[in-house]
Chains A and B, each alone.
Chain A
Amino acid sequence: MQVPAPFAYERATSVEHALSLLEQGGSEARLLAGGHSLLPMMKLRLARPETLIDINGLTDLDYVTLDGTELAIGAMTRHATVLDSAVLGEHYRIFADAERVIADPLVRNRGTIGGSICQADPAEDLSAVLSALRATAVIRSSTATRTVALRDFHRGPYETAVGTAEILTEIRVPVRPGVGSAYEKVERRAGDWAVAAAGAFVQLRDGVIGDVGIGLAAVGAAHFTCPEAEAALLGQAPSAEAVGAAAAICARSCHPQTDQRGPEDYKRHLARVLVERALNRSIARAGGTER
């Protein structure tokens, strides 16, 4: 089996400690959370950090709670916890939909929600989920705490708003009464990265779409979303036509890349199909017609 190049290892005992280790390590230090993105890359020697800062001891960042009008998810919360969370399931079924098709049960025992979105893989399902939900990232440095909208969090493939001496500590999702949400993914095989994936939430008000969010993974959608499609849905009756039109906008405006998972035209087609399906299921769930 391939094995990593040598590195120095530090174990953080608190967020403050992790931050000071990051400051010391500079750009050659990487945080080790679940490790299922970073360690495989290090084994292939595609990543060679000089120092790993293990933050698995920061168990106080492992939580899912309802905090007033927001759901608060600690950055170290494992995929398996997100999948099984009753609190999340009660408000946003999109989480369980997505987690069920993220990697496999073993990876989900270790991988974290924070680690996943910080890895910023363009096919990362949770990035699409959180963009759809218009979540907020809470980022700490040793001097300050700031928030960044998830839609501004991703700066490019494998690049986020988190600075070298900063840590993502929490993700916040607004609670939306009566919301329905869903996630749809096409993969070549169980556990594979998405060929394309889409998620959505819909909130109905007086029979029309009061609020909507769309998330897209693996199709090169800027910030994992499509604001133009969302705008087109607001105030509309949740009809097949409206949904179809929005899906078409998503397909038109994303930038899928041809690779061995599929050609660009197919991925673009999937963007439309999966946005349509995610919206339709969200609408059904919002209206209580799907359980």
Chain B
Amino acid sequence: MQVTVTVNGEETSGDIEPRLLLVHYLRNHLGLRGTHWGCDTSNCGACTVWLDGLPVKSCTTLAVQADGRRVRTVEDLETGGVLDPVQEGFVQEHGLQCGFCTPGMLMMARALLDRDPDPDTTTIREAISGNLCRCTGYENIVRAVRWAAEHTTAEVTA
């Protein structure tokens, strides 16, 4: 099947099998390897991307379902060479160790802050409850999201 998917603002297309998962379309067809996968049963959230502005599990979405739609991945967070505050927050607050769950966490964090710019730590924990991490014990991820809530892009540049 022919599909056209707008990924990170750019139109992409491909001739793909209906069963091709969105995560594989992104990683293997487009070479966007920042989105990872970590399980078979839609439990871990490592594959989180945005579909029409909402965070979803790209391992549980067919690429054909993104035909005509907009997808956003971690590669789109940095703009004009400046990190998004969520990215800077993860760096400043040591919100990552091995980095494998990180893209999913970042996409979830960015979606949360777009909806709720000043979330308390309970809200943050609920928002990332579908993203598993084996390294950090979550505390620094929560602090990283709070950092992003408290700092603007201008402060990231500075």
User: Which residues of A approach B to under 8 Å, CB–CB?
Assistant: 1-9, 11, 32, 35-36, 39-40, 42-44, 52, 54, 56, 80, 103-107, 109-110, 190-191
Which B residues between 34 and 69 are near A, CB-CB below 8 angstroms?
Answer: 37, 39-43, 45, 48, 54-57, 59-62, 64-65, 67
Q: Chain B nearest CB: distance from A7 CB in Å?
A: 6
Note all chain A residues with C-beta closer than 8 A to B21.
1, 3
- A-B interface contact total, Cβ < 8 Å: 86
Note all chain A residues with C-beta closer than 8 A to B11.
none
Give the most central of B1, B43, B65: most A CB within 10 Å. B65
User: Which residues of B approach A to under 8 Å, CB–CB?
Assistant: 1, 17-19, 21, 23-24, 37, 39-43, 45, 48, 54-57, 59-62, 64-65, 67, 108, 126-127, 129-131
CA distance A5 to B20 in the complex (A): 10
Do B130 and A9 touch (CB < 8 A)? Answer: no
CA distance A107 to B18 in the complex (A): 21
CA distance A9 to B2 in the complex (A): 12
Would you give 11 A-B contacts (Cβ < 8 Å), ordered by A? A3-B21, A3-B24, A6-B17, A32-B62, A39-B42, A40-B40, A52-B18, A104-B45, A106-B130, A107-B57, A110-B61
Do A39 and B55 touch (CB < 8 A)? Answer: no
Identity of the chain B residue whose Cβ is nearest the Cβ of A36 in the assembled complex:
B60
CA distance A36 to B23 in the complex (A): 15
Note all chain B residues with C-beta closer than 8 A to A104.
45, 129-130
CA distance A71 to B143 in the complex (A): 41
Contact of B18 among A9, A35, A36, A110 (CB under 8 A): A9
**The 6 nearest A-B residue pairs measured at CB:** A104-B130, A9-B18, A106-B130, A2-B40, A4-B19, A109-B54
Q: Chain A nearest CB: distance from B29 CB in Å?
A: 14
Q: Chain A nearest CB: distance from B119 CB in Å?
A: 12
CA distance A54 to B18 in the complex (A): 11
CA distance A133 to B39 in the complex (A): 36
Note all chain B residues with C-beta closer than 8 A to A3.
19, 21, 24
Q: Chain B nearest CB: distance from A185 CB in Å?
A: 14
CA distance A39 to B131 in the complex (A): 19
Identity of the chain B residue whose Cβ is nearest the Cβ of A192 in the assembled complex:
B43
Q: Chain A nearest CB: distance from B53 CB in Å?
A: 10
Known interface pairs A4-B19, A7-B19, A35-B61. Does A105 touch B129 (Cβ–Cβ under 8 Å)? yes
Do A43 and B130 touch (CB < 8 A)? Answer: no
CA distance A81 to B42 in the complex (A): 21
Do A39 and B62 touch (CB < 8 A)? Answer: yes
Do A9 and B61 touch (CB < 8 A)? Answer: no
Q: Chain A nearest CB: distance from B108 CB in Å?
A: 8
Beyond the given A1-B39, A5-B19, A6-B17, please list 8 additional residue pairs across the A-B interface where CB-CB is below 8 A. Answer: A40-B42, A40-B60, A56-B65, A103-B130, A106-B55, A107-B130, A109-B56, A191-B130
Note all chain B residues with C-beta closer than 8 A to A36.
42, 57, 60
